[in-house]
Amino acid sequence: MKWNELLIRYGELSLKGRNRNYFVRKLKRNIETALSDLHSFEIKSERDRMFLYADGKDDMEEAIKRLPFVFGIQSFSPVAKCPATIEDILQTALDVVGSGETEGKTFKVEIRRTDKSFPFVTNELQQKIGSHVLRNFPELSVQMKNPDILLFVDIRLEGAFLTSKVYPGAGGMPVGSNGKSLLMLSGGIDSPVAGYLLMKRGVAIDAIHFESPPFTSELAKQKVIDLAEKLSSFGASVKLHVIPFTELQQLIVGKIPDGELMTTTRRIMMQIADRVRVETDALGIISGESLGQVASQTLDSLTAINAVTSTPVLRPLISFDKLEIIDLATKIGTYDISIRPYEDCCTIFTPAKPKTKPKLERVKHYESFVDFEPLLEEVIKKRKIYNLPRQEKDEFADFL
């Protein structure tokens, strides 16, 4: 089926009052980016919807595959255009209905007639199209309320426009319309999901990862790069900052007692993240913590970790159960990457019994004997930055 245009609906966006134009412009740009390696599509936006003109280009099917991942779209429909004559409309109606599954489905025709000079009144036209479709698809039956297939025919001066399928969009808001934050990305199941959820609310992200070679492998890092790349497929490029953490971690292990070790490690990570955040013009820090999941994720631990910064730390998973997180990770395609069996830096240096109720004063006391500052600055300078998605075209095609 050769579609001529896509009708894109915004939903929540159209409620945004004075900011609406800004959101719509962002959405338009993100759609252009998501489709940038395809034919150049012309996109026109109206108050509550957008049209993407394709005029039967082959790339339309590919565009239909990609749009469900662009945040800010409520739903979209492929539209076929034909001359506004009854013969053309009847033929196109068959093509459009036949382009989807029809077995055992219910059906209804709806007409909008902006061109009042069209020779048939609405009821008459509805009848004609309906009976023509039923003659050709005897497995369909008519149902006026909630039909499976709603064939919508819009008759305008410039032609007739027919559509029957509504694809759900990803919802949310266009990435970048709500500023930028730095995601602490570990290679586990949780943090990529946390990044996804903030992107869904329009936040652009950079990511930071702490690696401890040779205790963590190249494959562990590759996993994090793949996760960041997966996140970049949700509407915006992602810069991944990889911090060489081994020396700092060894310093911590050497100087801080077992009970406070995990808390100090987290506090140091947070301080580094906060400095990288400033350099990248991000406003917040995102982490994948979920209350009570492990020792470092109790309210006492979070309090001790938070004490190093006044930057907002966004924890979208704080109230999620592990199974809910796994469900979402599976749905967005990060789960299979996250479960590749490579250790991350924290697992390796975790003491057998970290405290679930670390005392901030005690942690600060032990830390006061250690000068972390020179290493802190050094690892930030030595960080490696990866720009995702990677530029090779064939790889780009792979993950979509």
Residues at the interface with Mg ion (CB under 5 A): 186, 188
Q: What does the chain come to in residues?
A: 400
Q: Which of 80, 97, 140, 185 binds ligand ATP (CB under 6 A)?
A: 185
Beta strand pairing call for 42-45 and 238-244 = unpaired
Helix residue ranges per DSSP H, 5-153 = 20-34, 60-66, 86-98, 122-136
Told to check if 242 binds ligand ATP by CB under 6 A, we report no
Buried b (16+ CB within 10 A) or exposed e, 358-378: beeeebeebbeeeebeebeee
204 binds ligand ATP (CB under 6 A): no
* Structure token pair of residue 108: 């209804």
HSE, side-chain direction, 13 A CA sphere, residue 196: 25
What is the Cα–Cα distance from 307 to 252, expressed in whole angstroms? Answer: 18
CA distance 176 to 236: 8
Q: What distance, in Å, lies between the first and last C-alpha atoms of the chain?
A: 22
Q: Which is nearer to ligand ATP, 148 or 300 (CB)?
A: 300
- Binding residue for ligand ATP, selected from 288, 316, 354, 389, defined by CB under 6 A: 288
Q: What is the smallest separation between the CB atom of 255 and ligand ATP, expressed in angstroms? A: 20
For every residue of 3-43, DSSP letters joined together read: --EEEEE-GGGGG-GGGHHHHHHHHHHHHHHHTTTSPPPEE
Contact residue for ligand ATP among 5, 154, 190, 367 (CB under 6 A): 190
When asked if residue 358 is in the footprint of ligand ATP (CB under 6 A), the reply is no
Please tell me the distance from the alpha carbon of residue 74 to that of residue 77, in angstroms, as a whole number: 11
- Please state the closest distance from residue 149 (CB atom) to ligand ATP, in A: 42
Counts for the chain of helices (H) and strands (E), in that order? 15, 15
The verdict on 320 binding ligand ATP (CB under 6 A) reads no
As measured in angstroms, the least distance from the Cβ of 223 to ligand ATP is 11
Compare residues 77 and 297 and give the one whose CB is closer to Mg ion: 297
Structural contact between residues 156 and 81, judged by C-beta atoms closer than 8 angstroms: no
Residue least distant from ligand ATP (Cβ): 188
Minimum separation from the CB atom of position 263 to ligand ATP (A): 11
Which helix (H) or strand (E) segment holds residue 246: the answer is helix 246-255
- Count the site residues for ligand ATP by CB under 6 A: 20
CA atoms within 13 A on the CB side of 82: 18
| Closest CB 176 distance from ligand ATP, rounded Å | 21
By CB under 6 A, tell whether 274 contacts ligand ATP.
no
Contact status: 301 vs ligand ATP (CB under 6 A): no
What's the half-sphere exposure (Cβ side, CA atoms, 13 Å) at 348? Answer: 17
294 binds, among Mg ion, ligand ATP, none (CB under 5 to 8 A by kind): ligand ATP
> Nearer to ligand ATP by C-beta: 107 or 210?
210
Tell me whether residue 18 is exposed, middle or buried, using C-beta atoms within 10 angstroms of its C-beta: 0 to 12, 13 to 18, 19 or more: exposed
Closer to ligand ATP by CB, 92 or 298: give it.
298
> Which partner, Mg ion, ligand ATP, none, binds residue 236 by CB below 5 to 8 Å per kind?
none
Q: Name the residue with tokens 């592990």.
A: 322
Q: Which of 252, 345, 363, 388 binds ligand ATP (CB under 6 A)?
A: 345
Minimum distance from CB of 278 to ligand ATP (Å)?
Answer: 17
* 294 is an interface residue for ligand ATP by CB under 6 A: yes
Q: Does 107 bind ligand ATP (CB under 6 A)?
A: no
Instruction: In angstroms, give the least distance from the CB of 70 to ligand ATP.
Output: 25
Closer residue to ligand ATP, CB minimum distance, 232 or 265: 265
**Residue 345 interacting partner from ligand ATP, Mg ion, none (CB closer than 5 to 8 Å by kind):** ligand ATP
The stretch among 17-25, 70-78, 205-213, 353-361 that binds ligand ATP (CB under 6 A) is 205-213
- Positions 74 through 93 that interact with ligand ATP (CB under 6 A): none
The answer to whether 293 and 322 are in contact (CB under 8 A) is: yes
For binding to ligand ATP (CB under 6 A), which residues are involved? 184-186, 188-191, 208-210, 287-289, 293-294, 296-297, 344-346
